[in-house]
Amino acid sequence: MNAMMMNRRRSNGALLSALLGGSLFSLPAQAQRLVRDALGREQALPAVAPGRVLALSERDLDCLLALGLKPLASTQGRAQAGFPPYLAARAEGVASLGQFAHPSLDRVLAARPDLILAGGLADAKLLAQLERIAPTLSSHSGADPWPLSLQRVANWLGREAAAADLMQRYAQRVAGLRQRLAAQQGRTVSLVRWTPQGPAYMKGQAFAGLLLGELGLARPPRQQEAGPGHSAPLSREALAEIDADWLFIGMFGSGAAHDPQALAALLAQPEFRELRAARAGRVRQVDAALWTVTGGPLAALAVLDDVERLMLSVG
């Protein structure tokens, strides 16, 4: 057995022992402040805002970057080969921790974090392992809206003023764009994610769907069902469920769900071409990593930019 393999085994053994044997960190009682996360769990944080932070979801990465903070490392975007494209430039220099929900514990441990943001993770065993490395907080759970996550992260990291400025900027942007979209009021907007099995519509509490509602735009009745996720993929016979005055189809820019040829085939199907949006020339392709995931302050502002660009060029 060569030296490299022996060192790797020692490293893995030390990691496993640490994770199973107890916490790797401790704080003096006088240096702690207790906070509660989205899962209702109490965690002790340093009295001084943590400086070495890891992000284990797109929303956590989005919130940190929006607050002017760059994490040491982050998991990649869901169903993608890297960070979400709309965050890539801001996230330059941020190391990868692997896939969402499957972070590399070796990399997490090597980063020596002060705080791990684990929004959206539901694996109790994984959360317990992460808690033994550093305080681990969930910024969102279920259908929690992104402004709530932003406020939590800002409170944990002492960036309340920056969060307030962001929310003011967002509110002003929404109000201005809603006025400019006055001619579109009363029209419906269908929000769809392309999957390898076919199109799936986003449900009523999906991030971008809620944002469209703030702009005074309605979703088709079928797309108002409860939940933040998406439907099962639809067959050709069920395409009427994505019909609306406008149709936005989200495709990921990388990964298994990136299949432009399959999407082009859908757009060419007679059943699709009979949809109201298709007949009116109001079908638009958007970035699924931006429109159909969990959202965040930077995602919200970017979606508003897309809406302005895509909807105000056509009557």
Look at residue 36 and give its three-state secondary structure: strand
Mean pLDDT computed over 247-261: 86
Mean pLDDT computed over 120-144: 95
| pTM of the predicted structure, to 2 decimals | 0.90
Mean pLDDT computed over 274-285: 96
Stronger pLDDT, 299 or 17, i.e. the higher one: 299
Tell me the domains of the chain and their CATH numbers. 25-158 (3.40.50.1980), 183-311 (3.40.50.1980)
Q: What angle (nearest 5°) sits at the alpha carbon of residue 131, between those of residues 43 and 67?
A: 65
3-state DSSP: the chain helix, strand, coil percent, rounded to 5? 45, 15, 40
Mean pLDDT computed over 138-167: 97
Confidence (pLDDT) at 264: 87
Residue where the block lists tokens 């990465």: 61
Mean pLDDT computed over 281-310: 96
Sequence-separated (6 or more) residues with CB below 8 Å from residue 29: none
Among 38-52, 91-105, 255-269, the minimum mean pLDDT is found in: 255-269
What pLDDT digit, counting tens, does each position of 134-148 carry?
999 999 998 899 999
Q: Percent of the chain scored above 90 by pLDDT? A: 76
Mean pLDDT computed over 16-41: 70
Mean pLDDT computed over 36-58: 93
In this model, does residue 6 exceed pLDDT 50?
A: no
Confidence (pLDDT) at 223: 95
Average pLDDT in the chain = 90
Confidence (pLDDT) at 4: 45
Angle of helix 160-180 relative to helix 297-311, nearest 10 degrees?
A: 10
At residue 170 the predicted structure's pLDDT band, cuts being 50, 70 and 90, is very high
Residue 52 C-alpha from the chain's centroid: 21
Confidence (pLDDT) at 256: 72
Confidence (pLDDT) at 31: 62
Phi, psi values for residue 71, rounded to 5°: -70, 160
Residue where the block lists tokens 């005055």: 245
